[in-house]
Amino acid sequence: MKINANFRALKESYLFSTVGAKFTAYQKAHPEKRVIKLSIGDVTRPLAPVVVSAMERAAREMGDAATFRGYGPDATCYAYEPLLEAVRARYARRGIALGSHEIFISDGAKSDLSNLLDLFSAENTVLVPDPVYPVYVDTNIMAGRRILYAAAVRENGFLPLPDAKVHADIVYICSPNNPTGAAYDRAGLQAWVDYAVREDAVILYDAAYEAFIEGGLPHSIFEIEGARECAIEICSFSKTAGFTGIRCGYTVIPDSLKREGVQLCKMFARRQSTKFNGVSYITQMGAAAAFSEEGERQILENIAYYKQNAAKIGAMLDAHGIYYTGGKHSPYIWMQCPKGMTSWEFFDALLERACVVGTPGSGFGKNGEGYFRITAFATKENTAEACRRMGDFLDSL
Ligand code: MLT
């Protein structure tokens, strides 16, 4: 037999595994030190009370023969109506009408970003921004697709626009962006939709951080004219409602999105019925509660908490004259490394001298070199302590 040789083209380990291993090794070697982790975007606020109550209620139903459930309904790829209705209502509040057959409930955006690739030939060319969430790159390397990069640099506000001379079949957009925190406005997204329509491409729009958007920026690609004919939106309860451990996400594939005469939502439904058995009833009821009126109020309190952390980190960097972006529409701060340090030099120095861990920008791509990503998802106390330590460290340089 032969293994999938495409795996040979991958980096030895996934970025967040590499960073996590370095953190663990350092902590083991220095048990007396308390290292603060501002690296992977993992939430720390507890679940909203309405979510907990809904999950308790759902667990009790599962413990009663009269209300026990086995597999979810297969007509909707195992999605329960209350969650479909909650997702439809959230989109409707933005003026977007969705049918249940256009919504797919999953165990999270990371899985669906990969699952969706089953719909596309390995011969397609993929366009990703650089720097980029490594999942877009790794999943396509595993499938053997050709990958092109659009430079996301300070000069374009980390928001590349399409280049008419470059053809791609699959275009990844993440807005607000991971790792840079930059968010597209309507004109920027319209340019990408127009490009996709012209090139017969499909946009995979990662909206995992949409709940962090402030003001009038678009939350969904479907706010843009023409997007229903060229885009798929992938979203998650992880960062929106603290579900990184619970696991729940949703993907929207409009029924008007067709390629070679085939509706992609039908293809995906076919894929899911073969390869997926749904998300637990208890989880789905918790997710539905997160998008209720009271749920949205409670989850916004947690988002405001993280934004206060982001503001604190930003103020510390401002006080030291360090350039950064993000933190406004996003939980990530993308800072320039001081004194011309490379990303990994800064990572090592910050760990050694301040006992703070972040994510080296170069791990997200070559344009990330010289940058560093800090997450605002830690507790308020740890963020304040990390800022104090980072500030002292920057003063000492
Ligand atoms: C990140 O730190 O970029 C995210 O936590 C990764 C993810 O959501 O999978």
Instruction: Specify the 3-state DSSP secondary structure of 48.
Output: coil
- Which residue minimizes the CA distance to atom 4 of ligand 1? 41
Peptide bond just before 176 cis, omega within 30 deg = yes
Q: What is the CATH number of the domain that holds 108?
A: 3.40.640.10
Q: Provide the residue range defining the domain that includes 35.
A: 5-47+296-396
165 and 251 together in one domain: yes
Report CA-CA distances (Å) from 316 to 309, 385, 395.
11, 11, 11
Report the half-sphere exposure of 82 (CA within 13 A, side-chain side): 15
pLDDT of residue 12: 83
Taking the CB of residue 63, how many other CB atoms lie within 10 A of it?
Answer: 9
13 and 152 together in one domain: no
Long-range contacts of 22-31 (CB under 8 A, 24+ apart): 22/347, 22/351, 22/357, 23/351, 23/357, 26/351, 26/357, 30/355
33 and 139 together in one domain: no
| 188 within 8 A of 159, measured Cβ to Cβ | yes
196 and 226 together in one domain: yes
98 and 221 together in one domain: yes
Is the dihedral angle over the CA atoms 36, 42, 48, 53 positive or is it negative? negative
| 330 within 8 A of 309, measured Cβ to Cβ | no
Q: Which ranges constitute the DSSP H helices of the chain?
A: 15-29, 49-62, 81-92, 109-115, 134-143, 186-199, 238-241, 264-275, 281-290, 293-319, 343-354, 380-395
Residue 91 alpha carbon to ligand 1 centre in Å: 24
Residue 247 Cβ inside 6 Å of ligand 1? The answer reads: no
Q: Which atom of ligand 1 is nearest to the CA of 239?
A: 8
- Residue ending a domain, choose from 294, 326, 354: 294
Q: What is the CATH number of the domain that holds 344?
A: 3.90.1150.10
Three-point CA angle 331, 305, 235, nearest 5°: 45
Residue 278 Cβ inside 6 Å of ligand 1? The answer reads: no
| Model-wide pTM > 0.85 | yes
| 203 within 8 A of 190, measured Cβ to Cβ | no
DSSP character string of 222-291: GGSTTGGGTEEEEEESHHHHS-TTT--EEEE--TT-EETTEEHHHHHHHHHHHH-----HHHHHHHHHHT
The DSSP call for residue 372 is E
Angle, in degrees to the nearest 10, between helices 81-92 and 281-290: 20
Cα 70 to Cα 224: distance, rounded to the nearest angstrom:
39
Residue 176 Cβ inside 6 Å of ligand 1? The answer reads: no
- Which residue minimizes the CA distance to atom 8 of ligand 1? 41
Q: One-letter amino acid identity for 146? A: R
Cα 389 to Cα 209: distance, rounded to the nearest angstrom:
28
148 and 28 together in one domain: no
206 and 67 together in one domain: yes
359 and 283 together in one domain: no
Of residues 131, 38, 130, the one with CA closest to residue 333:
38
117 and 253 together in one domain: yes
287 and 373 together in one domain: no
Cα 294 to Cα 292: distance, rounded to the nearest angstrom:
5
Q: Which atom of ligand 1 is nearest to the CA of 359?
A: 2
pLDDT of residue 76: 96
- Residue ending a domain, choose from 270, 294, 318: 294
Is the dihedral angle over the CA atoms 391, 392, 395, 397 positive or is it negative? negative
Q: Which atom of ligand 1 is nearest to the CA of 236?
A: 8
Of residues 290, 279, 333, the one with CA closest to residue 47:
290
Cα 332 to Cα 382: distance, rounded to the nearest angstrom:
16
Residue 19 Cβ inside 6 Å of ligand 1? The answer reads: no
Residue 26 alpha carbon to ligand 1 centre in Å: 21
Please list the rounded mean pLDDT of every run of 10 residues in the chain (397 residues).
96 90 94 96 98 98 98 96 98 97 98 98 98 97 98 98 98 98 98 98 98 97 98 98 98 98 98 97 98 98 98 98 97 98 97 97 97 98 98 97
Q: Going by C-beta distance under 8 Å and a sequence separation of 6 or more, which residues neighbour residue 5?
A: none
- Residue ending a domain, choose from 294, 309, 327: 294
16 and 129 together in one domain: no
43 and 169 together in one domain: no
Q: Which atom of ligand 1 is nearest to the CA of 135?
A: 9
Q: Going by C-beta distance under 8 Å and a sequence separation of 6 or more, which residues neighbour residue 77?
A: 104, 105, 269, 272, 273, 276, 278
Residue 41 Cβ inside 6 Å of ligand 1? The answer reads: yes
Peptide bond just before 73 cis, omega within 30 deg = no
pLDDT of residue 28: 94
Residue 373 Cβ inside 6 Å of ligand 1? The answer reads: no
Report CA-CA distances (Å) from 330 to 212, 235, 319.
5, 15, 21
| 117 within 8 A of 138, measured Cβ to Cβ | no
- Kindly report the three-state secondary structure assignment for every residue of 66-105: CCCCCCCCHHHCCCCHHHHHHHHHHHHCCCCCCCHHHEEE
Q: How far apart are the first and last CA of the chain?
A: 55
User: How many domains is the chain partitioned into structurally?
Assistant: 2
